[in-house]
Amino acid sequence: MTNSIVPGSTAITDAEFAQFQKLIYSIAGISMSDAKKTLLVGRLNKRLRQFNFGSFAEYHRYVTSGSDPMELELMVDLLTTNETYFFREEKHFDFLRTVLAKHPRGRPFDIWSAASSTGEEIYTLCMVLSDMLGVDAGWSVTGSDISNSVLKVAAAGVYSLERARGLPPEYLRKYCLKGVRSQEGMFVIDKRLRAHTRFLRINLNEKLPEIGPFDVIFLRNVMIYFDQETKRKVVARLVQKLRPQGYFIVGHSETLNGINEELKAVHPTIYRKP
């Protein structure tokens, strides 16, 4: 048996870590590798101290007891939140511009960011849509995530100026407002863009709600945490929400080869529904 120790924290045993691996897989379909042990310890240690638990086994018993569903949700938030940034993997947005340039004026255009995290991807999409179709045109962006806490950040649309890296200066000027007083050092996404968005808590590992259909679905940098069978099930669910001739976009380190036969590759990481 080995322990994983972060300075000033409670150690976790292999058996305890295996309990959390099984739990997060059952809830979110995420396969947490052994290399994530230090990350888990770092993110959950404050929760152990909050409840004065002396071991991860005690905390696991508590969150699985059913007595505190809010704590279980918080645990999932802590273990599934991933960093993102504006215009991440920019070639996808360049491709979207080519699609929008051919889109008939006056026809709605709807996008789903299916693992939207804190919202940078959503507002990047909004800026591109506004730039290509007009800020008052009939387009929409739906953002979803398993974490309520990141959805709250996304819905607020308020970010530190440090998060502006990757944002073209003209977009920063056009679509972002500099924070004042209590929001000094921050910037706020223009309410005209936020008016085109909605945010939903969706667990991609479960039956999807009645949403869509969408012209484009972004599912980027999340499948790397799924095993092959979970990938197949998740993609099959999402494809049902995609319009015919719609596009399905995954992260640059991901592929749908061997996962879905319905979608046809048009570029690396970009697929189309017949």
The residue among 146, 137, 128, 148 whose CA lies nearest residue 216 is 128
Distance, CA of 66 to CA of 71 (rounded, Å): 10
Contact (Cβ atoms closer than 8 angstroms) between residue 238 and residue 269: no
Residue 21: both structure tokens together: 């691996």
What pairs with residue 173 in β-bridges? none
Catalytic residue among 14, 34, 43, 192: 43
Catalytic site includes residue 232: no
Residue 212: both structure tokens together: 């869509």
Q: Is 264 left (phi over 0), alpha (psi -120 to 50) or beta?
A: beta
Q: Does a cis peptide bond (omega within 30 degrees of 0) precede residue 169? A: no
Catalytic site includes residue 49: no
Catalytic residue among 110, 145, 190, 215: 145
What is the pairing mode between strands 176-178 and 197-201?
Answer: unpaired
Q: What are the helix (H) ranges across the chain? A: 14-28, 37-51, 56-63, 69-80, 91-101, 120-133, 148-156, 169-175, 191-194, 228-239
List residues with catalytic annotation. Answer: 43, 145
